[in-house]
């Protein structure tokens, strides 16, 4: 595959053919019809430069895998966007920028999934489902290697849904290297795991994913929520309201009450050592059996103490910067370093990896894991730990290795399989510089305001009812007051008393919203405590 990323107008075979053969991916920007929006100064078509720093010894081949020197096997010219523009045709804005001219900077907040309002939870599930049901208009995925495509003259692509584009990307970046022939694969290679690019790559992945959902739904305020799994006893997001409960019939399937029970997965089987690329076909239902995993591999979900130990490691990555790295923040957070000793090549899996194993289903294979939407909530939290580490240790850019990292992981390497191109080191920076923030990392005042938000939103929904209740109460009060006053007039009484009565009577219905806001105070306080 290439995840050949082509604009909607280019999904026809002929332009794919030309662009693949010419190795040029510089689609026209719809706004002015010029390649890369060049006429409007959004960008220009440029030769791709790939770094020549040596890779680590883990992958002993060269010239064999389409992902080497990404994206040169497919393209040697792509759009280079200027200013705040981004995208394969410079049609989009850089992360954190909005507006027609991409000059509105706005910070998005990723929130704890349990602090979302009811309406936001419903929105989350329906957006995910919409993405799963909608064929991507921007991307097709390749179903053959470049060689099988006869150097571009025989394109092999399939249409997939917007959601499955992302499943595919995760599969493609982590798949085995195909050495030719059935079963002839090299498994010790992964362009986004088992090395320093693990955190920057998944950061970009989530940002693009968020961006796609925004484009698909038109909801520019959408953010991926996170699941704070510290000290969790089980999969507490596995409810039908969120990521799907357990099926009463088969514990490894999802409950029919969840829309996710009808989802079909792909890229799972091709993990096996078949020596073939996944064809993006359906491969059965989403599987998940949380807690029914092999306890010799993972004892339990990560604890707060383990997260704290991981954050205390001062080096981003160490040694050969792979799964054997000792006292490496990256390796420990990824789950191959022991979060109590910091030693690599741990016999148990922990932290990030522990969640995948714990889910005992689609989530448990690296290449197929993004089929399960829990993936997004999980990786958002992993990314927030990465963010905490960046803020605490303020590493210089040179802490990220330039050379000798496992293939795909050097600082200048273009992340596979993204188009537009991104380099690993460009995402070794704070999320604030990429336009987003995590609600639990806000300072205390901002956090208090933030924790009020879902209640205020829900209050907005009930406000018309309160008003109606107030009005009805008001009418009743006026009637009562009129009766009382008539009685008073009839039986005598001073005018000041009359005025007082009116006031009291009108005060009554107005107290109703106060009962409600009293309620909010209480829940707010509870919520505030839990966000600390
Ligand atoms: C890019 O690839 C095309 C097609 O193979 C080739 O003709 C061209 O010379 C290449 N350009 C560069 C700068 O390598
Ligand atoms: C593809 O290109 C390579 C190198 O340029 C060449 O050796 C090979 O014969 C070509 N294959 C096809 C099917 O055109
Ligand atoms: C689920 O756990 C069982 C028991 O340890 C194990 O045999 C099986 O391979 C696991 N399945 C997946 C997909 O992780
Ligand atoms: C870690 O394990 C891998 C494979 O299991 C092995 O090749 C490597 O030498 C080990 N590294 C260390 C430092 O023990
Ligand atoms: C990590 O530490 C262990 C124990 O001290 C040692 O055996 C191993 O060689 C170290 N690995 C690396 C990559 O330095």
- Which of 151, 152, 155, 156 gets mutated to test ligand 2 (max ligand atoms within 8 A of its CB)? 151
Rounded to whole angstroms, how far apart are CA atoms 472 and 449?
33
Q: What is the mean pLDDT of residues 382-404?
A: 98
Instruction: Identify the three-state secondary structure at position 412.
Output: coil
Rounded to whole angstroms, how far apart are CA atoms 428 and 434?
11
From the number of C-beta atoms within 10 Å of its C-beta (0-12, 13-18, 19+), residue 92 rates as buried
Name the nearest CA neighbour of 277 among 183, 178, 164: 178
- Nearest atom, ligand 4, residue 345 CA: 1
| Cis, bond preceding 117 (omega within 30 deg of 0) | no
Question: Residues 119, 457: contact at Cβ < 8 Å?
Answer: yes
**pLDDT at residue 474 is higher than 80:** no
Question: Residues 448, 528: contact at Cβ < 8 Å?
Answer: yes
- pLDDT confidence tier of residue 271, bands split at 50, 70 and 90: low
Q: In the CATH hierarchy, which top-level class contains the domain 8-268+281-441?
A: mainly alpha
Average pLDDT over the chain reads 86
pLDDT of 155:
84
Q: What is the mean pLDDT of residues 57-67?
A: 95
Predicted TM-score of the model (pTM): 0.85
Indicate if ligand 3 lies below 6 Å from the C-beta of 361.
yes
Cα(151) to centroid(ligand 2), Å? 6
Rounded to whole angstroms, how far apart are CA atoms 311 and 387?
10
Rounded to whole angstroms, how far apart are CA atoms 116 and 223?
11
pLDDT of 322:
97
Indicate if ligand 1 lies below 6 Å from the C-beta of 76.
yes
Rounded to whole angstroms, how far apart are CA atoms 321 and 529?
38
Indicate if ligand 1 lies below 6 Å from the C-beta of 153.
no
Show the tokens assigned to 111.
């929130």
More confident residue, 473 or 158: 158
Indicate if ligand 1 lies below 6 Å from the C-beta of 47.
yes
Name the nearest CA neighbour of 295 among 210, 360, 246, 222: 360
pLDDT of 143:
85
- Which of 326, 340, 404 gets mutated to test ligand 5 (max ligand atoms within 8 A of its CB)? 326
Lowest mean pLDDT among 140-144, 162-166, 361-365: 140-144
**pLDDT at residue 449 is higher than 90:** no
Question: Residues 23, 44: contact at Cβ < 8 Å?
Answer: no
Question: Residues 424, 415: contact at Cβ < 8 Å?
Answer: yes
Matching residue, tokens 């002993």: 60
Counting ligands in written order, which one lies closest to the CA of residue 366?
Answer: 3
The separation between CA 369 and the C-alpha centre of its own chain, rounded to angstroms, equals: 13
- Nearest atom, ligand 2, residue 151 CA: 1
Between 162-174 and 118-133, two packed helices, what is the crossing angle to 10 degrees?
A: 70
More confident residue, 155 or 422: 422
Cα three-residue angle 159-409-276, rounded to 5 degrees: 40
Show the tokens assigned to 10.
């280019």
- pLDDT confidence tier of residue 490, bands split at 50, 70 and 90: low
Cα(393) to centroid(ligand 4), Å? 28
More confident residue, 443 or 515: 443
Counting ligands in written order, which one lies closest to the CA of residue 345?
Answer: 4
Cα(324) to centroid(ligand 4), Å? 6
pLDDT of 459:
77
Question: Residues 159, 140: contact at Cβ < 8 Å?
Answer: yes
Cα(343) to centroid(ligand 3), Å? 26
Q: What is the mean pLDDT of residues 46-54?
A: 96
Name the nearest CA neighbour of 531 among 449, 472, 470: 449
Counting ligands in written order, which one lies closest to the CA of residue 265?
Answer: 3
Q: What is the mean pLDDT of residues 339-346?
A: 97
- pLDDT confidence tier of residue 145, bands split at 50, 70 and 90: confident
Output the CA–CA distances (angstroms, integers) from residue 382 to 97, 267, 286, 445, 481, in the order listed: 24, 23, 22, 24, 62
Show the tokens assigned to 55.
């890779």
Output the CA–CA distances (angstroms, integers) from residue 144 to 78, 277, 455, 481, in the order listed: 22, 6, 50, 82
Instruction: Delimit the CATH 1.10.1280.10 region(s) of the chain.
Output: 8-268+281-441
Lowest mean pLDDT among 30-44, 176-190, 483-497: 483-497
Percentage of the chain surpassing pLDDT 90? Answer: 70
Name the nearest CA neighbour of 212 among 376, 42, 356: 376
**pLDDT at residue 300 is higher than 90:** yes
**pLDDT at residue 164 is higher than 70:** yes
Rounded to whole angstroms, how far apart are CA atoms 201 and 171?
13
**pLDDT at residue 142 is higher than 70:** yes
Closest residue to atom 7 of ligand 1, CA basis: 22
pLDDT of 19:
78
Closest residue to atom 5 of ligand 3, CA basis: 294
Q: Which residues contact residue 499 at a Cβ distance below 8 angstroms, ignoring those fewer than 6 apart?
A: none
Cα dihedral 28/31/34/36 (nearest 10): -60
**pLDDT at residue 280 is higher than 60:** yes
Q: Which residues pair with 139 in a beta bridge?
A: 5
- pLDDT confidence tier of residue 236, bands split at 50, 70 and 90: very high
Rounded to whole angstroms, how far apart are CA atoms 152 and 139?
17
**pLDDT at residue 131 is higher than 50:** yes
Which residues' Cβ are closer than 6 Å to ligand 4? 324, 345
- Which of 323, 325, 345, 349 gets mutated to test ligand 4 (max ligand atoms within 8 A of its CB)? 345
The backbone region for 9, taken as left when phi is positive above 0, alpha when psi lies in -120 to 50, beta otherwise, is alpha
**pLDDT at residue 144 is higher than 90:** no
Indicate if ligand 3 lies below 6 Å from the C-beta of 368.
no
Rounded to whole angstroms, how far apart are CA atoms 506 and 406?
74
Rounded to whole angstroms, how far apart are CA atoms 271 and 277?
9
Indicate if ligand 1 lies below 6 Å from the C-beta of 46.
no
Rounded to whole angstroms, how far apart are CA atoms 301 and 351?
7
pLDDT of 257:
97
- pLDDT confidence tier of residue 497, bands split at 50, 70 and 90: very low
**pLDDT at residue 246 is higher than 50:** yes
pLDDT of 297:
96
Q: What are phi and psi of 81, to 5 degrees?
A: -90, 155
Q: Quick count: other Cβ atoms within 10 Å of Cβ 186?
A: 15
More confident residue, 183 or 318: 318
Q: What is the mean pLDDT of residues 295-302?
A: 96
Show the tokens assigned to 65.
């895998």
- Nearest atom, ligand 5, residue 319 CA: 13
* CB-based burial, 288-302: b 16+ in 10 Å, e otherwise: bbbbebeeeebeebb
Q: What is the mean pLDDT of residues 382-409?
A: 98
The backbone region for 498, taken as left when phi is positive above 0, alpha when psi lies in -120 to 50, beta otherwise, is alpha
pLDDT of 525:
31
Q: For 19-29, how does the pLDDT look when each residue is reduced to its tens digit (9 = 90+)?
A: 788 899 999 99
Cα(358) to centroid(ligand 3), Å? 9
* DSSP codes joined into one string, 462-511: HHHHHHHHHHHHHHHHHHHHHHHHHHHHHH---HHHHHHHHHHHHHHHHT
Closest residue to atom 2 of ligand 3, CA basis: 293
pLDDT of 372:
98
Q: Which residues pair with 135 in a beta bridge?
A: 161
pLDDT of 9:
28
pLDDT of 458:
75
């Amino acid at each position: 595959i290439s995840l050949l990323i082509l604009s909607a107008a280019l999904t026809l075979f002929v332009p794919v053919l030309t662009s693949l053969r010419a190795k040029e991916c510089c689609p026209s920007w719809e706004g002015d019809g010029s390649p890369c929006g060049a006429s409007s100064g959004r960008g220009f078509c440029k030769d791709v430069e790939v770094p020549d720093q040596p890779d680590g010894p883990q992958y002993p081949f060269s010239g064999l895998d389409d992902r080497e020197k990404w994206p040169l096997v497919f393209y040697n010219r792509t759009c280079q966007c200027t200013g705040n523009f981004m995208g394969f045709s410079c049609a989009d804005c850089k992360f954190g920028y909005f507006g027609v001219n991409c000059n509105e900077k706005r910070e998005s907040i990723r929130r704890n999934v349990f602090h979302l309002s009811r309406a936001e939870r419903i929105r989350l599930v329906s957006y995910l489902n919409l993405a799963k049901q909608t064929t991507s208009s921007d991307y097709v995925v390749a179903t053959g290697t470049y060689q099988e495509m006869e150097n571009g003259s025989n394109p092999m692509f399939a249409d997939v849904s917007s959601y499955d584009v992302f499943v595919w990307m995760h599969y493609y970046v982590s798949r085995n290297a195909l050495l030719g022939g059935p079963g002839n694969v090299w498994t010790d290679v992964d362009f986004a795991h088992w090395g320093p690019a693990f955190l920057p790559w998944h950061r970009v992945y989530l940002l693009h994913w968020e961006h796609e959902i925004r484009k698909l739904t038109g909801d520019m305020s959408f953010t991926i929520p996170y699941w704070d799994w510290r000290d969790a006893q089980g999969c507490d997001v596995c409810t039908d309201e969120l990521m799907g409960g357990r099926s009463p019939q088969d514990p490894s399937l999802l409950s029919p009450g969840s829309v996710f029970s009808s989802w079909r997965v792909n890229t799972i089987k091709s993990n096996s050592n078949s020596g073939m690329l996944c064809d993006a076909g359906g491969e059965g239902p989403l599987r998940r059996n949380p807690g029914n995993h092999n306890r010799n591999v993972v004892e339990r979900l990560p604890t707060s103490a383990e997260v704290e130990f991981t954050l205390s490691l001062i080096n981003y990555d160490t040694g050969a910067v792979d799964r054997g790295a000792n006292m490496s923040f990256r390796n420990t957070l990824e789950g191959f370093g022991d979060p109590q000793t910091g030693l690599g090549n741990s016999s148990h899996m922990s932290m990030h990896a522990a969640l995948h194993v714990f889910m005992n289903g689609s989530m448990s294979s690296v290449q197929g894991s993004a089929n399960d939407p829990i993936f997004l909530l999980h990786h958002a939290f992993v990314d927030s730990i990465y963010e905490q580490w960046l803020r605490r240790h303020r590493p210089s850019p040179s802490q990220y290795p330039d050379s000798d990292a496992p293939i795909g992981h050097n600082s200048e390497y273009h992340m596979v399989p993204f188009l537009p191109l991104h380099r690993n080191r460009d995402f070794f920076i704070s999320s604030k510089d990429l336009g987003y923030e995590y609600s639990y990392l806000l300072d205390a005042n901002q956090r208090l305001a933030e924790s009020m938000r879902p209640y205020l939103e829900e209050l907005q929904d009930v406000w018309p009812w309160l008003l109606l209740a107030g009005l009805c109460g008001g009418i009743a009060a006026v009637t009562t007051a009129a009766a009382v006053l008539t009685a008073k007039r009839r039986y005598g009484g001073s005018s000041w008393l009359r005025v007082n009565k009116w006031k009291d009577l009108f005060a009554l219905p107005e107290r109703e919203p106060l009962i409600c806001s009293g309620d909010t105070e209480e829940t707010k306080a509870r919520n505030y405590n839990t966000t600390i």
